[in-house]
Amino acid sequence: MREFPDIERFLLLMKETSALKNGTEAPRNAGGEIVFDNVHFSYPSRPGEETLKGLSIAIQPGKMTAIVGDSGAGKSTITKLLMRLYDPAAGSISVGGQELRTMDIKQLHDQIAIVPQNPELFNCSMADNIAYGVDGGMADKNAVIEAAKLANCHGFISKFRSGYDTFVGARGAQISAGQKQRIAIARAAMRQPQLMILDEATSSLDVENERVVQEALERVMKGRTTLVIAHRLCTIKNADEIICMKDGRMVERGTHEELIGARGAYYALVRNQLVEQAAPSAERDSTSPTSIASLQRQTSASM
């Protein structure tokens, strides 16, 4: 049985295999601070075109850090470097004070859970899908139920006639997108990862499903180092820190309130998203400046 489906799927999705020299050290503190120090990076297929241009960021242990920015800003690239699919051309990346290049990557991956946008489920029971990769799939039934409760799945699973023994269908075809996402979160919770990475995890869900999934995520993320890449900014409003990227660089960092107050790049992203949400009625209005007070009102009402 393959052990870590989310990570394997992530690597597969990226369709890239790493030919990098593996390190030998076991990760000492995979949940510790993550530091990108002046990282420069170009994709091998686009030499000379820098995707990260001297990026320096620190991701605090036990906290939720969100990365936002326009499409193509380099957000997913950060997670790819963190998974060590590539090495930077210059600068360094460390996790818990340990340089990424020195670590045995398989052991690091064992301590990371990724919740992707379209998680892969297997055509086996709900319980087996949740327990996948933990204790060879032989995890304790109570532990499965605990994880399911944490991930807001217990309710809908219990309603099926066969409960936890219900099959999910090929690729999870017999359950909804939000339910699938919650099973993936329960699976992540089972593994008790030191580090969680969410790349647009809830962006394909409708608002109601997003709320339920978001609650589940917040419970599982609590106290863990979490890196969230979000498209819908309302999902990261409560992040401990928001890092705003533009064209391969960090342009701002702070809490939602701080960045709204700063009226910079993050403010512009939020404003654009609110205008999009309010379209088409706001289209007529989109050229008029939005006052800070009204934006603050809107962000607390609709985000």
Ligand X SMILES: Nc1ncnc2c1ncn2[C@@H]1O[C@H](COP(=O)(O)OP(=O)(O)OP(=O)(O)O)[C@@H](O)[C@H]1O
Q: Give the footprint of Mg ion on this chain (CB under 5 A).
A: 75-76
Yes or no: say if 68 and 243 are a contact pair by the CB < 8 Å rule: yes
Out of 11, 73, 227, 274, the only residue in the binding site for ligand X (CB under 6 A) is 73
Task: Give the nearer residue to Mg ion in terms of CB position, either 5 or 116.
Answer: 116
Out of 24, 71, 142, 287, the only residue in the binding site for ligand X (CB under 6 A) is 71
Out of 27, 31, 32, 74, the only residue in the binding site for ligand X (CB under 6 A) is 74
Instruction: Examine residue 51 and tell whether it contacts ligand X (CB under 6 A).
Output: yes
Out of 6, 27, 77, 139, the only residue in the binding site for ligand X (CB under 6 A) is 77
CB of 35 vs ligand X, minimal distance in Å: 19
Out of 43, 89, 102, 300, the only residue in the binding site for ligand X (CB under 6 A) is 43
C-alpha distances (whole Å) from 281 to each of 28, 80, 175, 183, 298 are 54, 39, 35, 37, 15
Instruction: Examine residue 46 and tell whether it contacts ligand X (CB under 6 A).
Output: yes
Out of 75, 232, 256, 271, the only residue in the binding site for ligand X (CB under 6 A) is 75
Q: Which residue is nearest to Mg ion (CB)?
A: 76
Residue 269 CA to residue 275 CA, distance in Å, equals: 10
Q: How wide is the angle at C-alpha 77 spanned by C-alphas 73 and 79, nearest 5°?
A: 125
CB of 78 vs ligand X, minimal distance in Å: 7
Residue 268 CA to residue 30 CA, distance in Å, equals: 34
CB of 207 vs ligand X, minimal distance in Å: 20
Yes or no: say if 292 and 222 are a contact pair by the CB < 8 Å rule: no
The dihedrals phi and psi of 225, each to the nearest 5 degrees, come to -70, 120
Instruction: Examine residue 72 and tell whether it contacts ligand X (CB under 6 A).
Output: yes
3-state secondary structure at position 45: coil
3-state secondary structure at position 120: coil
- Provide the binding-site residues for ligand X, judged by CB under 6 A: 43, 45-46, 51, 69, 71-77
